[in-house]
Amino acid sequence: MSLRRKDLLGLEDLSRKEIDRILDTAERMRGIVDGPVKKLPALRGKAVVTLFFEPSTRTRNSFELAAKYLGADTVSVAAQASSVQKGETLLDTARNLEAMGIDAVVIRHSQSGAPHLLARALSASVINAGDGIHEHPTQALLDLFTIRRHKGRLEGLKVVIVGDIWHSRVARSNIFGLSKYGAEIWVTGPATLLPPEIEALGVRATDRLEEALEGADVVNVLRIQLERQAGGYFPSLREYSRFWGITREKLALCREDVLVLHPGPMNRGVEITSEVAESDRSVVLDQVRNGVAVRMAVLYLLLGGGIAVG
């Protein structure tokens, strides 16, 4: 069983059937993550490199653990400690790593499209671990997986994405993924952080948080990305928190069994209160665990895992 593609660059160009295959495989991988012996020989003899030009805790480490749990060898390249600092280009860096015999590159880069550039140049598989404000496909896959596990379906759910929609690759990938399942997707945040053309992606957009939250099944709270903002999108963090922060009181507008997601890292007290983050409606740490399973599935399916799983 495999995906009939070399790379995973985004959810926009994945079919629903391909996403189903990843999520179904992740279900079996989650059993391995939860089990007593987290080791399979499925990718023995394969080598995976993580090449991160931006900070990461969840994505990089979960890709590395995912590869190790499947028996692959891993190397981690932090751009700050590499010859990029001496002026080597992204393409030269990747070509040199490929010359060492790697089978997959997991790349995070501040420039939208950087993984696509590598995918065209390399024979190795390229996996997008977040490119600029474009896509973060494995984050959306783990979000879909988490929602499906808790709700039993994706079809027809009202999913609200709250916050900095403009700069969010997580929002874009979630929109591409969820729309393939017929979810009712709402995006909400300050008007300055809602792209004018966003409704062309088939979502409802409003700067009235309460309208969006009404009857929601899922609330996906985005991190305020101060590093991508030149400033001036909202007056202050305190103001953002007051109007857009997800509190227990605002959550009361949603369905009683609402799920609260956050991709992390959380700015507690800004976009989400600790009370909500720690509540029984929050599945934030379950998302992280599911991230390992989803990334195992992606590596397994792209690299043609040699043995049956599950």
Helix (H, G, I), strand (E, B) or coil at 194: coil
Q: Check binding of 58 to ligand CP (CB under 6 A).
A: yes
**Selection from 37, 36, 41, 76 nearest residue 56 by Cα:** 76
One of 10, 189, 263, 305 touching ligand CP (CB under 6 A): 263
The residues in 73-112 that bind ligand CP, with binding defined as CB under 6 A, are none
Q: Check binding of 168 to ligand CP (CB under 6 A).
A: no
Rounded Cα gap, residues 135 and 143, in angstroms:
14
Alpha-carbon distance values, 280 to 120, 167, 223 (Å):
44, 29, 20
List, in sequence order, every residue forming a beta bridge with 206; answer none if it has no partner: 188
Q: Check binding of 169 to ligand CP (CB under 6 A).
A: no
Question: Residues 115-144: x/- map of binding to ligand CP (CB under 6 A)?
Answer: ---------------x--------x-----
CB of 189 vs ligand CP, minimal distance in Å: 18
CB of 226 vs ligand CP, minimal distance in Å: 14
List, in sequence order, every residue forming a beta bridge with 100; answer none if it has no partner: none
Rg (CA), the chain: 19
Q: Check binding of 57 to ligand CP (CB under 6 A).
A: yes
Rounded Cα gap, residues 41 and 117, in angstroms:
31
The residue (of 59 and 188) whose beta carbon lies closer to ligand CP is 59
Q: Check binding of 172 to ligand CP (CB under 6 A).
A: no
**Selection from 305, 289, 8 nearest residue 142 by Cα:** 289
The residue (of 58 and 250) whose beta carbon lies closer to ligand CP is 58
The residue (of 139 and 273) whose beta carbon lies closer to ligand CP is 139
Rounded Cα gap, residues 28 and 262, in angstroms:
24
Rounded Cα gap, residues 198 and 76, in angstroms:
36
The residue (of 169 and 180) whose beta carbon lies closer to ligand CP is 169
The residues in 267-286 that bind ligand CP, with binding defined as CB under 6 A, are none
The residue (of 40 and 146) whose beta carbon lies closer to ligand CP is 146
Site residues, ligand CP (CB under 6 A) = 56-59, 130, 139, 263-265
